[in-house]
Amino acid sequence: MSTNIEGKVIVITGASSGLGEAAARALSADGATVVLGARRFERVQTLANELIAGGRRALACKTDVTDHKQVKKLVDMAVESFGRIDVMLNNAGLMPHSPLERLKIDDRDRTIDVNIKGVLYGIAAALPHMKEQKSGHIINVSSVAGHKVTPAGAVYAATKHAVRALSEGLRVEVKPYNIRTTVISPGAVATELPDSITEPDISLGIHKFYDSYAIPANAFARAVAFAISQPDDVDVNEILFRPTRQEL
Ligand SMILES: NC(=O)c1ccc[n+]([C@@H]2O[C@H](COP(=O)([O-])OP(=O)(O)OC[C@H]3O[C@@H](n4cnc5c(N)ncnc54)[C@H](OP(=O)(O)O)[C@@H]3O)[C@@H](O)[C@H]2O)c1
% of the chain beyond a pLDDT of 90: 98
In tens, the pLDDT along 76-99 reads: 999 999 999 999 999 999 999 999
Max Cα-Cα span within the chain:
55
In short, whether 95's Cβ falls inside 6 Å of ligand 1 is: yes
In tens, the pLDDT along 110-143 reads: 999 999 999 999 999 999 999 999 999 999 999 9
Cα of 20 vs centre of ligand 1, distance in Å, is 7
**213 among known catalytic residues:** no
Average predicted confidence (pLDDT) for the chain? 97
Cα atoms in the Cβ-side hemisphere of radius 13 Å centred on 36: 34
Query: Do the beta carbons of residue 107 and residue 115 sit within 8 Å?
Result: no
φ, ψ (nearest 5 deg) of residue 166: -65, -40
Give which of 89, 93, 92 is closest to 111, Cα–Cα: 93
- pLDDT reported for residue 2: 62
In short, whether 114's Cβ falls inside 6 Å of ligand 1 is: yes
Angstrom distance (rounded) from CA 123 to CA 119 = 6
Alpha-carbon separation of residue 105 from 110, 113, 142, 198 (angstroms):
9, 12, 22, 12
